Each structure stands twice: as C-alpha cells, then as structure tokens.
Amino acid sequence: MPEIIVCQVGDVAPGSSIRVDTAGHRIAIVRIGNDWYAIADRCSHAEASLADGEVWSDECEIECPKHGSAFSLKTGEPLTLPATQPVPVYTVRVEGDDVMVRV
C-alpha cells in the first residue's frame, strides 16, 4: 500500500481534525497532542463528514456532527448509536513536517 502525503503538521491544530481527499479516499486527519489518526471521513450511519465533528482527545474518539455517533480513532468502531458499522482507519506516519497516510 502506498503512503501519500496528505497535509503538513501545521495544518492540524492539536485536538482537531481536517478533511483530505486523496487517491479516491475521503479521510479525516486527527491530531491529539503528538499522536495522529486517519479515519474514513464518512459516518457509517448517515454519511456525514466526521472531520466536521468534535474530537474527544481523552477518549481518542471523534463524534459525527449529524447524529452524535462516536467512533474510536484507533479501530473505527462505533461506540454510540445510531451508527452500528465501523469505518476504515488508516496508518499515519509523520516525517519532518509531512503527514503521510497509507491507503
């Protein structure tokens, strides 16, 4: 699987997320402190953008802004209803200022 540079470290403030579209994938890039996560940017319940949702740093979760389903940033598993299906997660690596995702 190829690694693709999706953004720069300075593009994502700690405790927040951005949406990137790359290689046919819509991905939410999430930064919690110095930890980085990449999760598919479509809620499995209603296809809302997860990058527009709230990042819960202590829980390592992101909340769908449409109906409030929370997803684990580590596994993509839904942790609250109404979502019942997981979303894909991707491997993230930071090299210098480049944030790279394996898709």
Question: What's the one-letter identity of residue 67?
Answer: H
Predicted structure pTM score: 0.95
Query: Contact 78/69 with Cβ under 8 angstroms?
Result: yes
Query: What is the average pLDDT across 50-64?
Result: 97
What is the distance between the alpha carbons of residues 45 and 29, in angstroms, rounded to a whole number? 20
H helices, E strands: number in the chain: 0, 9
Q: Per residue in 10-30, pLDDT tens?
A: 999 999 999 999 989 999 999
Q: Per residue in 29-56, pLDDT tens?
A: 999 999 999 999 999 999 899 999 999 9
Q: Which residues contact 98 (CB under 8 A, 6 or more apart)?
A: 5, 8, 9
Given a cut of 70, whether residue 1 has pLDDT beyond it is: no
What is the distance between the alpha carbons of residues 8 and 97, in angstroms, rounded to a whole number? 5
Domains and CATH numbers, the chain: 3-102 (2.102.10.10)
Query: Contact 39/88 with Cβ under 8 angstroms?
Result: yes
- Over its C-alpha atoms, the chain yields an Rg (Å, rounded) of 12
